Every structure is written in structure tokens, then in C-alpha cells.
Structure 1
């Protein structure tokens, strides 16, 4: 079984490695939508896989690092494409959530990335 929880954060970035004239080379911002998917067995006593408040507590410091920032200034995110941002989030959260199966990160309602466990 898989549970999920959805989060949002706002951040600015620019993509320094795209060609001159590309609109994403300019500073701009997004309201990112992040969904974490955690798989596991239902705990018999509690009747859940993981307490949603525990999931939120794990995600909060990572999201707090990203929210209302210039992503390019965060170590490891000098080129913060959606793909690299998703990988960065995965690296921060996965050690704290062993059941993490995938994350979905949308930078617009119509575009985003899914990062899955291997």
C-alpha cells in the first residue's frame, strides 16, 4: 500500500546553462507542488503505514530550506532544473523515510518530474 502527502513551496531560480535568450535563463519563480509517496505495510496496532504528522515533520525542514529562496544559492542546486531539484529533495528525505517510493514535483500545473526508487 502507498500513502502520499502533498506540500507546496514558493521559490525563485534561473537556469544558467540554457542558451542565451532562453526565457528560463532569467530569474523567475514558481509555486512548486511536491507529493511524497511512502509504501509499506499497515501497522496492525495503529492501522496506518505512517502517521501523516510524522511525514510532515520529516518534510518540513527540507521544504523550509527551499521555501521563499533563490534555489541557485542552495548548495548542490546551482543549476536548479526540476529534475535536479527533485533529485536533491530525494537525497535529503530518503534517509529519513525508508519507505519513500517516489516523489512528484510540479513547477507548473502542467509540467513536472517524478523521481522513483530503483
Structure 2
């Protein structure tokens, strides 16, 4: 069984390694939408794999670390592309959430990234 929970956060960033004049080289912000997918066996007594509130309790401290911050100022995110942000989130969550199987991050309504570790 795979379940997921959605989270959102607002953050600013700039991409220092883009060509001169590229619009993403300037400071700008996004409302990011993150889906966290976990997988496991359904418990026959509870009839669920994981309580969504337990999942939320694990992920929310990370969301609070990102929300309304400049991503470039966070250790390990000096070049915060969507891809590097996803690897960073995965590396923070996986030790706390061994059942993690996939992350989806939407940076804009039409673009995003999927990461499966």
C-alpha cells in the first residue's frame, strides 16, 4: 500500500550557476507543493498502514525549516534547483521515515520534479 500527504511552503531562492542574464539568477520565490509517498503493509487490526497525523508530525519540522526562508542560506542548498532541493529533502526525511518511497515537488503550476531516491 502506498499513501501520500501533501505539504506546501513558500521560499525564495536564486540560481547562482545559470548564464548571465537568466531570470532565475535573480532572487525570486515560489509556493512549493510537496507530496510525500510512503509504502508498507496494512495492519489487519487498524486497517491502515500509517496514520496521516504521524506522517505529518515527521515532515512538518522540515517544512517549517524551509517555509519563508531563502533556500540559498540553508546548509547544503547553496544552489537550490528543484532537483537539488529534492535530494536535500530526501536525505533529511529518509532516516526519519524509512517507508519513504517517492517525493513529488511542484515548483510552479506547470513544472516540478519526482524523486525516488
Alignment TM class, shorter chain as reference: over 0.9
2:14 paired residue number = 14
1:112 paired residue number = 112
Measured after TM superposition, the shift of residue 15 of structure 1 is 0.1
1:100 paired residue number = 100
2:28 paired residue number = 28
CA distance in 2, matches of 1:99, 1:109: 28
Long gaps (5+) in structure 2: none
Aligned length: 117
Where 1:96 maps in the other structure, the secondary structure is coil
Long gaps (5+) in structure 1: none
CA distance in 2, matches of 1:31, 1:93: 20
Measured after TM superposition, the shift of residue 46 of structure 1 is 1.4
Where 1:7 maps in the other structure, the secondary structure is strand
Segments of 4+ moved more than 4 angstroms: none
CA distance in 2, matches of 1:46, 1:95: 25
1:68 paired residue number = 68
Where 1:98 maps in the other structure, the secondary structure is coil
